[in-house]
Amino acid sequence: MNALFHGHVQGVGFRFTTVEVARDFELTGYVMNTMDGSVRVVAEALEEDLLKFLEQIRAAHIYRYVVKEDLNWSNATGEFSGFTIKYS
């Protein structure tokens, strides 16, 4: 899953909260700020876990800063060993 969260999502703890939420699930991938001001989340897990992960992000206090969410689903690559903050 590749998600872009748009809005005032940088500088409000979005990445750190996403990492905290990810700890409740068996998933891998990363969260990172993008140059256009959005936050990208790339995550791999069972679909059920990814859906629950997204639900938890949407229920978190930081989601109030999101004005738009773009989701793209694709097959897992297996390239990640954990879930981290990626710095560009």
Q: Which fold would CATH assign to domain 2-85?
A: Alpha-Beta Plaits (3.30.70)
Q: To the nearest 10°, the Cα dihedral for 47, 30, 28, 71?
A: 10
Q: What pLDDT shows up at residue 88?
A: 76
Q: For 14-72, how does the pLDDT look when each residue is reduced to its tens digit (9 = 90+)?
A: 999 999 999 999 999 999 999 999 999 999 999 999 999 999 999 999 999 999 999 99
Contacts of 53-58 with CB under 8 Å at 24 or more apart are 53/21, 53/22, 53/24, 53/25, 53/27, 54/1, 54/3, 56/21, 56/24, 57/17, 57/18, 57/21
Catalytic residues: 15, 33
